[in-house]
Amino acid sequence: MSGIKYLKLFIPVIFMVFLQTCNQNRKMVGLQIEEKPVVELKHVKLRGKLRVVTDYNSTNYFVYKGHTMGFQYEMLEALAKHLGVKLELTVNNDLVSAFASLERGDVDLLGMNLAVTTDRMEKFNFTIPHSQSPQVLIQRSPVNDSTGFIRNKADLGGKRIHVQAGSSFQEHLVRLSNEMEMPIDIVVVDMLEEEGLISMVASGEIDYTIADENVAMVNSSYYPGIEFKTSVSLPQNLAWALRKGANHLTHDVNMWLMDFQKTKEYKRIYQRYFKSSRIEEMMQSEYFTVKSGKISDFDDLLKEKAKIIDWDWRLLSALISQESNFNPKAQSWVGAFGLMQLMPETAYRYDVDSLSSPIENVDAGVRHLKYLKGKLDETLSDKTDELKFLLASYNVGLGHVLDARRLAEKNGKNPDQWKESVDYYLLNKSKPEFFNDPVVKYGYCRGSEPYQYVNKILERYSNYQNIVLLN
């Protein structure tokens, strides 16, 4: 009996030790899979950039004649400007993956047309609506008459409808299907968003899909064979998503959005992408990159010439877009000419002039870039920021950039570092206390131009990388 009593007393002790061990193991496991902390506005400002995922399509984010455009793009640019930070934009047309990246804390915001559903609100914060749109059925026009159109949601039973994985269209169709005697045949598609599915309906690859009405309206100009007059939902709120718990950042974005939607700028942006006939003209153009994959008439030339300096051709395209907007006849007030806006003295060195062909102009410009890069290779010990130094040198001249390096070194800054070092002294080289410094050899320059030039080209290049294929 004494042994049994001893065992009864000992068992609870063993159980408590077991629980403590489990808790310790659970804590250890928690440390291994610990999520990133929730980011608020102060963290965004401290970081200096807002990390956003958007989708690439005919309304949200695209390139037209070399210019980055889109409803979401312009809205997000305005938000970043308001916050005083840089917009770091990446593309992901896979909604499941995009939401996962937000949940992990890899990004701060999903800047898309996201329907606010009950299921999503349990997992994420949502802003106030940036727009509204009902969901509509996309179907092909019958050959002879309109009797073949589906006009009632009840008639969707038994129909095969393709929708994007993780979309609100999928959620809504599942609810509709559960209410029907004959369920809807829902086919979920990965890595293809609503515009891709609209294209498949138009080509006859599939019979039906679901889209937001405003997106369907824009695409109907490009695919005249589709029909979208059958609504399958009431108008839904479309908003941006943030990480669950980012309540202060959500509040700050909402306060801005409420004010912004009252402005003429918001009305202009919405009108441009959803009400204007201009968007129809863009979609028909060969320079509408969503459909054509082209940036300009000179893509093949730039792919060839970029090899001379071992550049991505999209970077060379970004530079030329900034310089001449791809106009081979462009001429500036200071005499620069052609696609690469060569100054006469630079052009003379490479045996070209204003009458030379676009091929000769680009060839000369690229050879000049190669020359500048060679000089910088001899000068920079750390070449991490060499591209920024090279772009600035192409814009304002190598001498002024070397002056800014000398000023940085004199003032205890790293002369091989661009940001918050050489860029600062170049930006301020229009002020007497800077250009009159004894270390300055090339005098005054309007430093804001090369400063903005570098930022604009790299931003445009980033957008081209998001949207345009390398080859």
pLDDT number for residue 143? 58
pLDDT number for residue 22? 44
Q: Which two tokens stand for residue 142?
A: 């019958």
Residues annotated as catalytic (active site), given as ranges: 323
Q: Give me the residue label for tokens 């979208």.
A: 228
Q: Which of the four pLDDT bands, split at 50, 70 and 90, describes residue 58?
A: confident
Residue 10 to residue 363: CA distance in whole angstroms: 87
> Other CB atoms closer than 10 Å to residue 349's CB: what's the count?
14
| 312 Cβ neighbours under 8 A, 6+ residues apart | 306, 461, 465, 470
Q: Which two tokens stand for residue 376?
A: 């910088």
Are residues 225 and 218 in contact, defined by beta-carbon separation less than 8 angstroms?
no
Q: Can you say whether the dihedral through the CA atoms of 309, 315, 321, 322 is positive or negative?
A: negative
Residue 447 to residue 427: CA distance in whole angstroms: 4
Q: Is the pLDDT of residue 65 over 90?
A: no
**Burial class (CB within 10 angstroms; exposed 0-12, middle 13-18, buried 19+) of 368:** buried
Residue 345 to residue 285: CA distance in whole angstroms: 37
For the stretch 9-51, pLDDT in tens is: 444 444 444 444 444 443 333 333 346 788 888 999 999 999 9
Residue from 212, 199, 215, 190 nearest 61 by CA: 215
pLDDT number for residue 211? 95
Residue 162 to residue 208: CA distance in whole angstroms: 6
Alpha helices in 37-70 (DSSP H): 41-47
For the stretch 115-165, pLDDT in tens is: 998 889 999 999 999 999 999 999 997 755 555 789 988 899 999 999 999
For the stretch 153-205, pLDDT in tens is: 889 999 999 999 999 999 999 999 999 989 999 999 987 888 999 999 999 99
| 374 Cβ neighbours under 8 A, 6+ residues apart | none
Q: What is the DSSP letter of 167?
A: S
User: Where does 81-224 show beta strands of DSSP type E?
Assistant: 86-91, 109-115, 124-126, 131-133, 135-140, 160-164, 185-189, 209-212
Q: Is the pLDDT of residue 210 over 90?
A: yes
Q: Which is more confidently placed, 330 or 278?
A: 330
The residue ranges of every structural domain in the chain are 298-467
Q: Give me the residue label for tokens 């980055």.
A: 68
Burial annotation 225-262 (CB, 10 A radius, 16+ → b, else e): ebbbebebbeebbbbbbbbeebeebbebbbeebeebbe
pLDDT number for residue 287? 81
Are residues 197 and 138 in contact, defined by beta-carbon separation less than 8 angstroms?
yes
Q: What is the DSSP letter of 57?
A: B
Are residues 70 and 61 in contact, defined by beta-carbon separation less than 8 angstroms?
yes
Amino acid at 259: D
On average, the pLDDT of the chain sits at 89
**254-275 average pLDDT score:** 94
pLDDT number for residue 145? 52
Q: Which fold has domain 298-467?
A: Lysozyme (1.10.530)
Three-class SS state of 85: coil
Q: Is the pLDDT of residue 105 over 90?
A: yes
